[in-house]
Amino acid sequence: MLFWISAVVFAVVVGLIAFAMRRARRDVTPDIEQGDPRWGDRFIAIAGVLLPVLILLGSFIYSLGQMNALATGDEEAALEIEVIGHNWWWEVRYPNGAVTANEIVIPAGERILLKLSADDVLHSFWVPRLQAKMDNIPGRVNEMWIESYEPGRFRGQCAEFCGLQHARMAFFVEALAPDDFVAWYDNEAAAAATTADDRGLDVFLSSTCLGCHAVRGTEADAEAGPDLTHLAARETLFAGTLENTRENLERVILDPQSIKPGVGMPPTELSDDELEALLDYLESLS
């Protein structure tokens, strides 16, 4: 609708400019016959003021209705997901108990209701290919609808300056085919399953990891940092900052401040042997 209104206005304006240019070229002779100036005044008042006001006002009222429909939606949500902004990562909680971070997995072709809030300061949830921006505000829940018509991966970014590592507060929305989603969803809610030996879990439970992270099914249940129950299934570390590889995981554990200065995670001191066991453990959490 807005496109066609703009197209008509554009065509009329270009037509008038062409008309004026033709006249100007014809009338360069000094003995121009002046038209009635009152007609010119009236033309400016109507075409230059009244018509634009009516067109803009009409478009504005029409847009308000459309924005409302986009914001509230008229269908039942297939799924409600809580997305909580933290300095500087995203906590993602599902109704079946699944908890993840920085990767929001949804079924393609379904209307998903996001409940946006924040834990510390203002953040803003923005996935340009799926929806407009909306703020995550501490103490308040904002609702946003998203839908991906096809399976795909869409990058998102915090869009409200929230401190030192605002730029490294990315996330992804991953839309899966419905069957793939069901498999992911059930697995994500389940407790951690590991193929690594107990040594890695012992290191995890006896180090500083325990103070901030949860691995469901173990005694680690802190919520200050991302839930690591299915860490190995995620594609990035530190909110889109690094690819989730063994080498990068090692950097994050040993020296997080060099990657994301100011981040709440302290460096962890481990012997080589402990580090390898811990990496084996974390890499098995899929």
* Straight-line distance from the first to the last Cα atom of the chain, in angstroms, rounded to the nearest whole number: 47
The distance of closest approach from Cβ of residue 135 to ligand CUA in the complex, given in angstroms and rounded to an integer, is 10
The distance of closest approach from Cβ of residue 285 to ligand CUA in the complex, given in angstroms and rounded to an integer, is 26
CB–CB of 191/285 below 8 Å?
Answer: no
Question: Is residue 127 within the footprint of ligand CUA (CB under 6 A)?
Answer: no
> Which of positions 194-223 make contact with ligand CUA (CB under 6 A)?
none
Quote the CA–CA distance of 178 and 224 in Å, as a whole number.
32
Q: How many other CB atoms sit within 10 Å of the CB of residue 44?
A: 10
* Interface region with ligand CUA, contact rule CB under 6 A, candidates 18-26, 38-46, 157-165, 176-184: 157-165
* Interface region with ligand CUA, contact rule CB under 6 A, candidates 69-77, 100-108, 153-161, 248-256: 153-161
Question: Is residue 160 within the footprint of ligand CUA (CB under 6 A)?
Answer: yes
Quote the CA–CA distance of 145 and 152 in Å, as a whole number.
17
* Interface region with ligand CUA, contact rule CB under 6 A, candidates 63-71, 161-169, 175-183, 225-233: 161-169
Burial of 109 (0-12, 13-18, 19+ CB in 10 A): middle
In degrees, rounded to 5, the angle at the alpha carbon of residue 224 between the alpha carbons of residues 135 and 80 is: 45
Size of the site for ligand CUA (CB under 6 A): 9
Of the residues 84, 85, 215, 275, which one makes contact with ligand CUA according to CB under 6 A = 85
Whose Cβ is closer to ligand CUA: residue 160's or residue 188's? 160
The distance of closest approach from Cβ of residue 157 to ligand CUA in the complex, given in angstroms and rounded to an integer, is 8
Question: Is residue 162 within the footprint of ligand CUA (CB under 6 A)?
Answer: yes
* Interface region with ligand CUA, contact rule CB under 6 A, candidates 25-33, 159-167, 257-265, 277-285: 159-167
In degrees, rounded to 5, the angle at the alpha carbon of residue 67 between the alpha carbons of residues 61 and 71 is: 150
Question: Is residue 260 within the footprint of ligand CUA (CB under 6 A)?
Answer: no
Q: Chain-centre distance of CA 131, in angstroms?
A: 8
CB–CB of 210/224 below 8 Å?
Answer: no
Q: Chain-centre distance of CA 75, in angstroms?
A: 22
Alpha-helical regions (H) of the chain: 2-26, 37-43, 51-72, 178-189, 198-206, 246-254, 256-259, 272-283
Quote the CA–CA distance of 230 and 261 in Å, as a whole number.
25
Question: Is residue 239 within the footprint of ligand CUA (CB under 6 A)?
Answer: no
Question: Is residue 158 within the footprint of ligand CUA (CB under 6 A)?
Answer: yes
* Interface region with ligand CUA, contact rule CB under 6 A, candidates 33-41, 158-166, 263-271, 276-284: 158-166
Question: Is residue 169 within the footprint of ligand CUA (CB under 6 A)?
Answer: yes
Which stretches of the chain bind ligand CUA, using CB under 6 A?
85, 88, 123, 158, 160-162, 166, 169
